[in-house]
């Protein structure tokens, strides 16, 4: 079993494009673009095992979950010139959780040879 502290560097970019004005619908289009960057700390929890093979080899496997919370980014909405008095902010967020499956093979150097 594995548990502990984890950290990661996150770069989050987003873009919003409303092309209604170009589609001839009579509605104004708008655009927004934003980003956020942060170093996040979180937790990790996992379980794994190892299976011995002949001639100093073994197979390993592990399943890990890591959670780093949430990151937010916001950007002003820029309307087309037909609706210049309009103002709004696009707020976006991402939950940072990952599930990892790790597999590997191990070779042990030395005299200990398994049957």
83: in domain: yes
115: in domain: no
Host domain of residue 39: 2-107
Q: For the segment 93-107, what is each residue's pLDDT rounded down to a tens digit?
A: 889 999 999 999 999
Q: For the segment 70-100, what is each residue's pLDDT rounded down to a tens digit?
A: 988 888 887 656 555 666 788 888 899 999 9
CB neighbour list of residue 26: distance below 8 Å, 6 or more residues apart? none
Evaluate if pTM is beyond 0.75.
no
Closest CA to 99 of 76, 73, 68: 68
Answer whether 30's CB lies under 8 Å from 79's CB: yes
Q: How many domains does the chain have?
A: 1
94: in domain: yes
DSSP letter at 70 equals E
Distance (Å, whole) CA 101 – CA 68: 18
Lowest mean pLDDT among 12-26, 36-50, 67-81: 12-26
29: in domain: yes
């Amino acid at each position: 079993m594995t548990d502990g502290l984890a950290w990661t560097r996150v770069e989050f970019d987003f873009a919003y494009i409303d092309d209604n004005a170009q589609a001839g619908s009579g509605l104004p289009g708008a655009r927004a673009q934003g980003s956020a960057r942060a170093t996040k700390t979180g937790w990790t929890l996992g379980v794994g095992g190892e299976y011995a093979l002949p001639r100093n080899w073994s197979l390993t496997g592990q399943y890990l979950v890591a959670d780093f919370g949430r990151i937010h980014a916001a950007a002003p909405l820029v309307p087309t010139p037909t609706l210049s008095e309009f103002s709004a902010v696009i707020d976006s967020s991402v939950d940072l959780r990952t599930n990892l499956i790790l597999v590997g093979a191990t070779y042990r150097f030395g005299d200990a040879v398994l049957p």
